[in-house]
Structure 1
């Protein structure tokens, strides 16, 4: 499978780091020029739905969050354009020794499963569904946040694109909210990559919009999405 790394062209240190990391493991890759949310120029940034974002997160979106979502959107388009599964990486990562073996193991699963996380997770709500050599495929009932690395099929990518007509939340929460896209989320263990130690380019995300109306809407939203995600994840697992 082809490997693509999402990276802002001006982030020269990150690009140098990921180039050295992948080259040292003899991994061929291509960059996808990430969207810089701070300049506000890319047409995908117009998909920002401020009102829904505030209800979802209790605050407005950070420019970096919108740029991150748009950048992964470009990666999904790449999978559709090539009409084949691809590996998607962010540029702040640590490549594990067995990266190529793990990716090879995942090749037999990805067309059927659609989306496989290749980074670690902490949730205990998962079930191992298959094994090959030293790799285990796990169905994730609670999808962890973070999008450092994953494999995606063109069919799953198309579903994500179709469900991203507006950006209502960060991209990792979009993946977690499976009722939006109806795609099961799997993970592989051991992981092929881990998150690096670079300072986040997204920035501080603690500032909140605090009004009684927003608080009520957020309470209703969080309760309803919790139930929706739980039911959809159970339904998809039974279906598979």
Structure 2
């Protein structure tokens, strides 16, 4: 499978780090130039749904979050263009020594499973569904956040694109909200990459819009989506367990 790294063209140090890390292990890759949300020039940034974003997060989107979503959207388009599964990485990562072996294990699963996280994940709601030579595959009932590294099939990429006509939340939360895209999310253990330690370029996400009406809408939204996601994930697990 081809490997693509999402990275800002101006992030010289990050690009050097990821180039050195992957090249040292003989991993060929290509950069996908990340979208700079602060410039507000890319057409994908106009998909921002401000009203829904505020209900979901209690605040407006950060420019970096919209750029991140748009950048992953470009990666999904790449999978569709090639019509084959691809490895997608962000440039702030640590590549594990057994990266290639783990990816080789995932290659036998990805066409049927659609999406496999290859970074660490922490959740108590999971179950092992496949055993590989170098890693094991798990079905994740509760989807962790973060999008440092994953493998995606063209079918899954098309579903993500179709469900991203508006950017209503950060891209990692979009993945968690499986009722939007109806794609099961899997993870491996041990992981092929780990998140790096470089400061986030997205910015401060702590500021909230604190009004009673927003708080009420957020509460209703969170309760309803929790129930819907739980039902959808359980249904997809039953459907995909033996495929």
TM-score between the two structures when normalised by the length of structure 2 = 0.98
Give the corresponding residue for 1:96. 96
Give the corresponding residue for 2:49. 49
1:76 counterpart SS class: helix
Moved more, 132-141 or 46-55: 132-141
State the Cα distance separating 1:210 from its structure 2 match: 1.1
Moved more, 128-137 or 41-50: 128-137
Give the corresponding residue for 1:163. 163
Give the corresponding residue for 1:173. 173
1:6 counterpart SS class: strand
**Which whole-Å deviations, capped at 9, do the CAs of 1:11-64 have from their partners, x for residues lacking one?**
000000000000011100000000000100000000000000000000000000
State the Cα distance separating 1:213 from its structure 2 match: 1.0
Misfit runs of 4+, over 3 Å: none
User: Does 1:204 find its partner at 2:204?
Assistant: yes
Cα distance in 1 for partners of 2:134, 2:106 equals 11
2:46 counterpart SS class: helix
Cα distance in 1 for partners of 2:134, 2:212 equals 52
State the Cα distance separating 1:134 from its structure 2 match: 2.7
State the Cα distance separating 1:189 from its structure 2 match: 1.0
2:75 counterpart SS class: helix
Give the corresponding residue for 2:69. 69
1:222 counterpart SS class: helix
User: Does 1:154 find its partner at 2:154?
Assistant: yes
Gapped regions of structure 2 (runs ≥ 5) = none
Alignment of 1:1-240 (within 5 A): 1-240=1-240
Give the superposed CA RMSD: 0.4
How many residue pairs end up in the alignment?
240
Cα distance in 2 for partners of 1:32, 1:232 equals 32
Aligned residues of 2:5 and 2:89 also touching (Cα < 8 A): yes
Cα distance in 2 for partners of 1:144, 1:98 equals 22
Cα distance in 2 for partners of 1:162, 1:152 equals 15
Cα distance in 2 for partners of 1:20, 1:90 equals 14
